[in-house]
Amino acid sequence: MKGEQGLAETFGGAAFFRNEETGESYLGVWGARKVSRFRSRMRVAGGDLRIIREPPPARLVWRQSIPAGR
């Protein structure tokens, strides 16, 4: 799951947000099952995880969708 391409391919799409003032970064995936898998993998990796069900307080840096079946 390295880099944005790996993240997008693993979850069928992903987004990265950054708050320039605070330095906080946010990763996003969409869809209940994908979010569940993402949450599980982040916990195993020891990431600090907080679920936000709306756009984060940050600027969108990149977003990528991978078509199903690709």
- Please write down the HEC assignment for all residues of the chain: CCHHHHHHHHHCEEEEEECCCCCCEEEECCCHHHHHHHHHHHHHHCCCCCCCCCCCCCEEEEEEECCCCC
Whether the pLDDT of residue 61 is over 90: the answer is yes
Arithmetic mean of pLDDT, 33-60: 85
**pTM, 2 dp:** 0.75
pLDDT of 59 reads 96
pLDDT of 2 reads 62
Q: Mean pLDDT across the chain, nearest whole number?
A: 84
